[in-house]
Amino acid sequence: MNPKRVTVIGGGPAGMMAAIAAAQAGACVTLCERQAQLGRKLAATGGGRCNLTNTLDVETFMSRFGTEGRFMTGALRRFGRDDLLRQMTEWGVPCAAADGFHYFPVSQRAMDVLQALERQLKKLNVQVRLSTVVSALDLVAGRVCGVVAAGARLPADAVILAAGGAAWPSLGGCGLGYDLAIQAGHEVVEPSPALVGLVTRETWPRLCAGVTLPDVMARIDLPECRKEVWRGVLLFTHAGLSGPLMLDISGPVTRLLRRQEQVPLRLSLFPDLSRETWNTRLAEWRTGRGKKSVRNLLDESLPQSLATAVCEACGIDSAVRASGMTAEARDRLLEWMTALPVTITGSGGMAQAMVTHGGVSLRDIHPATLESRRVSGLYVAGEVMDLDGPCGGYNLQWAFSSGWQAGALAQRGEG
């Protein structure tokens, strides 16, 4: 029997892994990548260190993707964290979770991961076509029969759409995958930036640019959002707020910004200290440490630039002693130390986003196989789908798992 012909659209982590899985299973594989090189986003991820996955069990991992997380069950059980780590070790890229949660290559080099994938593609005789734009799917009677690339028809028995999302256009992000999915009759949920820095209406965060707080809790201060909280590292920037905490909350915030001009947040700079604790502490400052300035007392808990910004925002002169703080100023300070208000007016956009929220709707994709419900022989993998998670190895694990599942099953023709 002639080997099955599988064409993969996209040379990111999902596409490369799909090509490898299909080729390992015996398919004749062609991988089309519109860029002049493979895996440009992969090489840059994690600050060039590549946080591949994390230590969470499957159920908890899926829950971090929200209500649609269970869609990943089949892919994660077919090729989960342990499979990925074992495969990377076999390919010469051992990984470790030095902090007990995030898995990185021991070498701390994303390029080692990319080069390992490229070596496997070469070893398995995958035909890699760089600088090749797939402009259309070849569809006949509800089945995909190939693709149109660089003006020529490339016949195929199965096609895997792993073209990535619109985020990070400087490294290849674009909407090509969405256009191809629409050709096949799929619905595309409007893409928006996720894992991106946020812009504040307030100017005081810019005075603290570069300051990092290791443990902050945040919530969106709207009635329909107040039950959900985020917790993590906060970074102040020249535009507003960033760091893992803001990257994680950015997806829902940017979606809200589509329908309203601003989104209010509340930040708890000390999530383990209650309002009552701070109330008591401020009272003690007034009675027991009244000769010290409020700014100097805040310096004991906050970086100096942030302590100064807090005082200014609360209308407290830097020289005001704790004993001389007015009741009104004290109430404002209490609010800031327990539920600091900030207003988000924008984000870094797709240009700075690490991941895309939105994409090909999951409703028309079989979760057990990742084959299209609309077109036989068409499989979908990775970021092009409407499924994204927070920082911490979630999105790369999903890319690798979905790529492997799509590649293995496309070669078999399972649907």
* Residue 295 confidence (pLDDT): 92
Q: Pinpoint the residues of the chain covered by CATH 3.50.50.60.
A: 5-192+356-412
Going residue by residue through the chain, which has 415 residues, state the pLDDT in tens, using 9 for 90 and above. 678 999 999 999 999 999 999 999 999 999 999 999 999 999 999 889 999 999 999 999 999 999 999 999 999 999 999 999 999 999 999 999 999 999 999 999 999 999 999 999 999 999 999 999 999 999 999 999 999 998 899 999 999 999 999 999 999 999 999 999 999 999 999 999 999 999 999 999 999 999 999 999 999 999 999 889 999 999 999 999 999 999 999 999 999 999 999 999 999 999 999 999 999 999 999 899 999 999 999 999 999 999 999 998 888 988 899 999 899 999 999 999 999 999 999 999 999 999 999 999 999 999 999 999 999 999 999 999 999 999 999 999 999 999 999 999 998 876 5
How many whole angstroms separate alpha carbon 352 and alpha carbon 339? 28
Residue 148 C-beta-side C-alpha neighbours within 13 Å: 8
Please check whether residue 359 is in contact with residue 386, taking contact to mean a CB–CB distance below 8 angstroms: yes
**Those residues with Cβ within 8 angstroms of residue 63's Cβ, 6 or more apart along the chain or in another chain:** 69
**DSSP three-state, residue 60:** helix
**CATH code that applies to domain 5-192+356-412:** 3.50.50.60
C-alpha distances (whole Å) from 274 to each of 277, 321, 338, 373 are 5, 24, 7, 51
User: Could you tell me which residues are beta bridge partners of residue 219?
Assistant: 266
In whole angstroms, how large is the CA radius of gyration of the chain? 25
How many whole angstroms separate alpha carbon 7 and alpha carbon 219? 44
Predicted TM-score (pTM) of the model is 0.92
**DSSP three-state, residue 265:** strand
